[in-house]
């Protein structure tokens, strides 16, 4: 066998947390343990952070270990109020479980609602309840909304909001949406988020661009149908493995969509994974694992872009 394998550590899996789940004492214990581990790691990593590094972006110490949540919402088409109500209820359960990063599916507030105009415009008043939530809890929320002819991905925290538009509208979406014109990680209080949206997952160039631009983790939000659930699972893992980076994939829940939201480590192993039903998965992610994976197998550093040829 070849040498392309990760360390022999067992994956940690956590069950979905339903809306209203308390988990208070357990969550606090997990956070204390995470804080202890982070403090122990800081002294050994500070020397690495003291000098600038290359575009692979060696991590800063203040967000090394975090708890992330994928909130797998069952989206009611064109029902913004109901979707918002349930999204906030699930978010409350996630932060009670210690989550600092909360990821929602693509267009989780409206779905692809073509029968009425639910487009939002800056400063995006539809996000005001989410703004209040992140200010109260100090968390980061990731999702997308309709802004005119853009499917606009966003990262929202107490410091503000950043955007990454969907690059590749799929099929009939092209009648209603234009593709985004740029790709770059979004700077947030929890690190640089490499965000892609649904069909973008099929284009490895998007995730590679984000990784080489210094993303601390990849996030994909989607509405994959059951007929392509196996494609979702395979591509999520591929993007984590080929870029040696954590990948949070948040899909919409069934029955119309396949669910299967997943939180992956840089070796493509599931730390947490959902079924098809509405719910939340939580996982602790140690972002230093990205740099450890890239040191063990320096695939990104070993690239030879000067000889790659693309035929358009």
What is the reported pLDDT for 310? 73
What is the reported pLDDT for 64? 85
What is the reported pLDDT for 309? 82
13 inside domain: no
What is the reported pLDDT for 63? 59
206 inside domain: yes
Q: Are 224 and 258 in contact (CB under 8 A)?
A: yes
SS3 at position 282: strand
Nearest CA to 22 out of 84, 98, 77 is that of 98
Domain that holds residue 31: 24-301
Pull the structure tokens for residue 170: 């799929």
171 inside domain: yes
Pull the structure tokens for residue 109: 């507030």
Nearest CA to 142 out of 128, 126, 125, 130 is that of 130
pTM equals 0.81
Which residues lie closer than 8 Å to 11 by C-beta, 6 or more apart?
265, 269, 270, 271
Q: Where are the beta strands (DSSP E) in 37-149?
A: 65-72, 101-103, 140-147
Check which CATH number belongs to the domain holding 77 and give it: 3.60.110.10
6 inside domain: no
49 inside domain: yes
Domain count, the chain: 1
Distance CA 118, CA 212 (A): 35
Phi-psi region of 217 (alpha: psi -120 to 50; beta: other; left: phi over 0): beta
Q: Return phi, psi of residue 178, to 5°.
A: -100, 155
What is the reported pLDDT for 59? 44
What is the reported pLDDT for 37? 45
7 inside domain: no
Nearest CA to 258 out of 68, 105, 69 is that of 105
46 inside domain: yes
Which residues lie closer than 8 Å to 48 by C-beta, 6 or more apart?
58
- In the chain (312 residues long), the average pLDDT of successive 10-residue segments reads 37 41 44 48 29 39 82 98 98 98 98 96 97 98 98 97 98 98 97 98 98 98 97 98 98 96 98 98 96 97 91 64
Rounded to 5°, the CA angle 245-251-254 comes to 150
14 inside domain: no
């Amino acid at each position: 066998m070849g040498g392309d394998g990760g360390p022999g550590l067992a994956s940690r899996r956590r069950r979905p947390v339903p809306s209203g789940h308390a988990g208070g004492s357990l969550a606090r214990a997990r956070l204390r343990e995470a804080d202890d581990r982070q403090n122990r790691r800081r002294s050994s990593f500070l020397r690495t952070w003291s000098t600038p590094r290359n575009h692979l972006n060696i991590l800063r110490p203040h967000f090394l270990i975090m708890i992330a949540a994928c909130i797998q919402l069952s989206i009611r088409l064109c029902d913004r109020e109901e979707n918002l109500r349930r999204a906030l209820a699930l978010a409350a359960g996630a932060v009670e479980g210690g989550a600092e990063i909360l990821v929602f599916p693509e267009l989780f507030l409206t779905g692809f609602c073509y029968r009425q105009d639910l487009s939002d415009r800056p400063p995006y008043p539809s996000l005001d309840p989410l703004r209040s939530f992140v200010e109260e809890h100090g968390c980061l929320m990731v999702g997308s909304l309709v802004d005119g002819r853009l499917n606009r991905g966003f990262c929202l925290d107490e410091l503000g909001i950043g955007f990454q538009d969907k690059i590749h509208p799929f099929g009939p979406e092209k009648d209603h949406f234009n593709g985004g014109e740029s790709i770059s990680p979004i700077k947030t209080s929890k690190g640089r988020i490499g965000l892609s949206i649904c069909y973008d997952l099929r284009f490895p160039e998007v995730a590679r661009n984000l990784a080489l631009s210094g993303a601390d983790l990849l996030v994909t939000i989607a509405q994959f149908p059951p007929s392509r659930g196996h494609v979702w699972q395979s591509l999520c893992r591929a993007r984590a493995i080929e870029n040696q980076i954590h990948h949070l994939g948040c899909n919409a829940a069934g029955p119309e969509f396949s669910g299967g939201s997943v939180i992956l480590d840089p070796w493509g192993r599931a730390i947490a994974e959902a079924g098809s039903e509405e719910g939340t998965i939580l996982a602790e992610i140690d972002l230093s694992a990205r740099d450890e994976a890239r040191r063990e197998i320096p695939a990104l550093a070993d690239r030879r872009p000067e000889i790659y040829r693309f035929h358009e």
